[in-house]
Structure 1
Amino acid sequence: MSLPKFAATRSFHTELKTRINQYFEESGRPMTGDSGLLLKAILLVGTMVALYVHLVFFTPAAAWALLECTLMGCVIAATGFNVMHDGAHGSFSRFPWLNKMAAYTLGVMGGSPYMWNSKHNLIHHTYTNIEGHDDDIDVKPWMRMTPDQPKHSLHRYQHFYFWALYCMLYITWIFAMDYQKYFTRQIGAIGLKPMNAGEHISFWGFKALNLVLFVVLPIYMVGFLPWLAGFFLSMAVAGFVLSMVFQLAHTVEDAAFPVPHPVTAKLEDEWAIHQVRTTANFATDNKVVSWLVGGLNFQIEHHLFPKISHVHYPAISKIVQQVCSEFDVTYNNYRHTRSAIASHVGFLRQMGRAA
């Protein structure tokens, strides 16, 4: 399968970059995160460590332990949104070593930083919502996420059962999908570049570390059944929260799913317009939501400028909206989280019932 080719015109993207660069020059602020983001990272990682230590080494009562496991799942997701995500894009800090440390939190939590960089930074951020290339919309055969995917009778009910399926994301990610990509050397239709010795060691080292921290040691300390209940609960909560935030950004009724020309593989839009058309924001006026999800409710700004930290998204979103208006590019924005969720459910219903 040939890689899609974007239209050669870049006037929209050029204008966006000019105005965004002007904003940072006039404000005198760096494009990376600030001290507030560092404090948030310390708070989130510290909370995760404290919960882990209390659950594993102090064995609270069952009801309290389940509550803490639920909170652990939320904190894992929040750490991914706020710390790992910016670190992986190199926007967490102006210090490269601090970006690497932030990105490596994913390894401790069970994922592979190498696979994430390939799947998310390189492929998803380039070929967003393009069937066969964007791995984020490939949930086959369990769900139909694009108009170009095959439809099965089961999909008619996907807007009912997706809640349970999303709970399985994190578990399948760290115990199956990373390994599938590693051994097949493939993400969707795109082959992975050869890994060097350090990348192989990093992959297996983080997998082993996560197994020891989240499987072996807890079973030894609290027993198999208590570990199984707590582990599944925390992973299910983390998986559901992660799934919902990322799905609200791209699989909603107003998002586009462009199809490359079958012969030339060309797309109608330039890359930046493609990113806006395939992406949606939600609850951008809600500071609590923005704080919790690491600015990923400003997904349009993130896709256009992934190397700019999310702490700047509320400010630059005004610039992006203005340029979109001038170029007659639709800026998808759901005012509330609930309206974005309703649109996602409506989209799943539509995909399940379409011919």
Structure 2
Amino acid sequence: MQTPKFPKGKPPFSVVLKERVGAYFAETQQKITGDHRLYWKAAILVLAFVALYVHLVFFTPAWYWAILECIVLGFAISAIGFNIMHDGSHGSFSNRPWVNTAAAFTLSVLGGSAFMWNNKHCIIHHTYTNVHDLDDDLDAGIFLRLSEHQKKYKMHSFQHYYFWFMYMQLYLFWILFSDYKKYFTRKIGDMPLKKMSVMDHILFWKFKVINLSLFAIIPIWMVGFTPWLIGFLVTTQIGGLVLSLVFQLAHTVEDTTFPLPDDANKMEDEWVVHQLKTTANFATKSKIVCWFVGGLNFQVEHHLFPKISHIHYPAISKIIKQACAEYGIVYNEYPRVYQAVASHVSHLRHLAKIS
């Protein structure tokens, strides 16, 4: 399919932002990638995951402790995705390419596909954010209506009530269905999938087998089918809910837009302005939230500068806010997590009412 084009701004707002952010790194003499703060966090998260997994599978505690540990494991998996995999996939975890590749492949160990994620998220989502039929993040099948441009079904009248349950299924859907759909159809939504090399095919199936072994075969062998199934569902439901909420709060809220190309297949705004209109921040003052979600609460900064590690987002957000104020461009932000969640629910409720 023919993808839409973004016009050049007058004056080019993107140039102003790049110059100012570039000047910040030149003055502070910092690398744009991660440093010891990110590496220590990555070590903590990986060790937490390994410890929880080993204790649950090989030293299985009483059922009530096991349930609690499975809940924490769901949070740990989400945090690894936010902090390690996400920065690695964008090449911002380290200035060493092989380290970024290793960080990105944590997703493959956890059940997803690093190749599919790179195509779906790093290329398509980051280019055509909130554009109907292009941004696959808006596609929840018939179950949820996330944009006014999507077809409305009767069930959507209640989506602002049941969306919690649907979000809990994301992780399961991701590792058991969506990656395979992309693989066999060679498409991400309506966009053709980038051609896979022989090594891409090998790695896709190799890590699917590794994940199946780690999260199903070995646990079933050690603890039995029923305890495994309960623990697996608890872990994936928690992971799915956390992953879904963090990504949805960044783009599907009341203040973000869902622009379409015109008849000439051109977008209204230059790419940088498009990102600002389709993206929102939340809880940027909370160090706990920022630590856990890998700076994805600074989603504006991430979309404008995906090659910059999230550890720098608090600093460069001040530069971007100032530039937006000077150029009269709205900078979407919610001070608290609950306010962003409330806005997301209101957005779903609004789409449930309109045709």
Instruction: Bin the TM-score by the shorter chain.
Output: over 0.9
Which residue type is aligned with residue 258 of structure 1? P
Q: Does 1:63 align with 2:64?
A: yes
Aligned to 1:89: 90
Which residue type is aligned with residue 205 of structure 1? K
Aligned to 2:107: 106
Query: Residues of 2 paired with 1:177 and 1:319: CA distance?
Result: 38
Query: Residues of 1 paired with 2:61 and 2:286: CA distance?
Result: 35
Alignment partner of 1:249: what SS?
coil
Which residue type is aligned with residue 151 of structure 1? K
- Superposed CA offset, 1:22-55 (max 9, x none): 0000000000001010010000000000000000
Aligned to 1:124: 125
Aligned to 2:288: 288
Query: Residues of 2 paired with 1:218 and 1:275: CA distance?
Result: 43
Q: Does 1:278 align with 2:278?
A: yes
Q: Does 1:244 align with 2:248?
A: no
Query: Residues of 1 paired with 2:79 and 2:342: CA distance?
Result: 22
Query: Residues of 2 paired with 1:294 and 1:193: CA distance?
Result: 27
Query: Residues of 2 paired with 1:260 and 1:146: CA distance?
Result: 15
Query: Residues of 1 paired with 2:320 and 2:292: CA distance?
Result: 23
- Superposed CA offset, 1:105-140 (max 9, x none): 001000000000000000000000000000001112
- Superposed CA offset, 1:184-233 (max 9, x none): 00011210121000000010011000000000000000000000000000
2-11 or 211-220: which moved more? 2-11
- Superposed CA offset, 1:312-344 (max 9, x none): 000000000011111111000000000000000
Query: Residues of 2 paired with 1:174 and 1:20: CA distance?
Result: 37
Query: Residues of 2 paired with 1:185 and 1:328: CA distance?
Result: 42
Aligned to 1:191: 192
Aligned to 2:328: 328
Offset at residue 79 of structure 1 (A): 0.5
Alignment partner of 2:208: what SS?
helix
Alignment partner of 2:249: what SS?
helix
Offset at residue 9 of structure 1 (A): 2.5
Query: Residues of 1 paired with 2:206 and 2:308: CA distance?
Result: 30
Counterpart mapping for 1:211-250 below 5 A: 211-250=212-251
Which residue type is aligned with residue 120 of structure 2? K
Which residue type is aligned with residue 217 of structure 1? I
Which residue type is aligned with residue 140 of structure 2? V
Query: Residues of 1 paired with 2:326 and 2:267: CA distance?
Result: 22
Query: Residues of 2 paired with 1:51 and 1:149: CA distance?
Result: 41
Counterpart mapping for 1:1-355 below 5 A: 1-9=1-9, 11-261=12-262, 263-355=263-355
Query: Residues of 2 paired with 1:102 and 1:189: CA distance?
Result: 28
Which residue type is aligned with residue 91 of structure 2? G
Query: Residues of 1 paired with 2:36 and 2:97: CA distance?
Result: 16
Which residue type is aligned with residue 341 of structure 1? V
Offset at residue 8 of structure 1 (A): 2.4
Which residue type is aligned with residue 126 of structure 2? H
- What value does the CA root-mean-square deviation take over the aligned residues? 0.7
State percent identity of aligned pairs. 56
Query: Residues of 1 paired with 2:277 and 2:292: CA distance?
Result: 25
Which residue type is aligned with residue 255 of structure 1? T
Alignment partner of 2:132: what SS?
coil
Which residue type is aligned with residue 3 of structure 2? L
Query: Residues of 2 paired with 1:186 and 1:326: CA distance?
Result: 41
Where do 5+ consecutive residues of structure 2 fail to align? Answer: none
- Superposed CA offset, 1:145-183 (max 9, x none): 101001111001000000000000000001100000000
Where do 5+ consecutive residues of structure 1 fail to align? Answer: none
Which residue type is aligned with residue 120 of structure 1? H
Query: Residues of 1 paired with 2:59 and 2:49: CA distance?
Result: 15
Which residue type is aligned with residue 352 of structure 1? A
Alignment partner of 1:274: what SS?
helix
Query: Residues of 1 paired with 2:120 and 2:302: CA distance?
Result: 16
Offset at residue 57 of structure 1 (A): 0.4
TM-score when scaled to structure 2? 0.99
How many residues were matched structurally?
A: 354
TM-score when scaled to structure 1? 0.99
